[in-house]
Amino acid sequence: YPSNPQMGDGSILERTNCRAKGGAAGFKVAILGAAGGIGQPLAMLMKMNPLVSVLHLYDVVNAPGVTADISHMDTGAVVRGFLGQSELDGALTGMDLVIIPAGIPRKPGMTRDDLFKINAGIVRTLCEGIAKCCPNAIVNLISNPVNSTVPIAAEVFKKAGTYDPKKLLGVTSLDVVRANTFVAEVLGLDPREVEVPVVGGHAGVTILPLLSQVKPPCSFTHEETEYLTKRIQDGGTEVVEAKKGAGSATLSMAYAAVKFADVCLKGLRGDAGVVACAFVASQVTELPFFASKVRLGRTGAEEVYQLGPLNEYERIGLEKAKKELAESIQKGISFIRN
């Protein structure tokens, strides 16, 4: 037996390779930033997903440790680890879905935009790898500021000639998860019964919960609307402050990321009626990117839904969201073009 069979030294038993190829309905998934606060629980949850046959864990630190650990779970997916830039190509080749939680998180007092300087470069490098090694993969981008990193990824793919807007999805599912939880609390319902569409983007006022469209149908007082909207918009900051410098949301984010990855895989599999909110290339507003409900299919986000009827409160929120979003999108685009 090789000393570290999961680290891609090529000597793992043939039987494992057979298993990796054999799982008929399995997809190949890579996590970039897999050793981080989000990456580790995300890797664990993806290893538990029966739709995954191969799981590649890439990071610039500690990938071998996380890989050895996760690989002992007795679930179907074959796990392989990849450490550092020189192994990025190996991590990406052949992947159906690439999930990116690489980059630094917020500390108290920081906005998501404060992360731009460092994370923009990380996302660029990783997306160049995707363009080269798995240009047809679906990309789930978690690294903040999502409102800028998605436009960055789009520009990298355009430059490489591989851009398919349907395949690039900014992950906003944590906003939906939080909205479902907080709304359920106010309504006295089980959060699993509640569905709140959250549109716009993924930072502060760009996070726009559409409380007038909550399922099951319900109504809120003005105070409840204000409380809920603000709490959903500031949910990330709530966690950042509670962690007092030790990072931002990681466990709830890993949960939300897996929920979203799962709908992407179900779409790839060809399931009907798979719908979730995501930050995508969009014609729903005048902005080139916007988060709204999308239908996921074999080729990615195959349909981007209109916002539906908004009330006065939401219309005002939408105008605020668009103003900030426009700047963040432009910042991302300029980072690559200039």
Interface residues with ligand NAI (CB under 6 A) are: 32-33, 35-39, 59-61, 101-106, 115, 119, 122, 125-126, 142-144, 146, 171, 174, 202, 247-250, 253
**60 versus 310: smaller Cβ distance to ligand NAI:** 60
Least CB distance from residue 294 to ligand NAI, whole Å? Answer: 16
Least CB distance from residue 132 to ligand NAI, whole Å? Answer: 15
Q: What is the rounded CA–CA span in Å between residue 88 and residue 129?
A: 7
Please tell me which residue in 56, 72, 202, 222 is annotated as part of the active site: 202
Residue showing the smallest CB distance to ligand NAI in the complex: 36
**71 versus 147: smaller Cβ distance to ligand NAI:** 147
Q: H helices within the chain, ranges in order?
A: 14-22, 39-47, 63-71, 88-92, 116-133, 146-160, 173-187, 222-233, 235-243, 251-269, 312-337
Least CB distance from residue 183 to ligand NAI, whole Å? Answer: 18
222 is catalytic: no
Integer angstrom CA distances of residue 322 from 13, 150, 327? 53, 16, 9
The pair of three-digit structure tokens given for residue 167, joined into one six-digit string: 């395949």
Residue 24 neighbours by CB under 8 Å, 6+ apart: none
> Of 99, 62, 63, 61, whose CA–CA distance to 80 is shortest?
63
Contact 282, 290 (CB under 8 A): yes
Least CB distance from residue 35 to ligand NAI, whole Å? Answer: 4
| Active-site residue set | 202
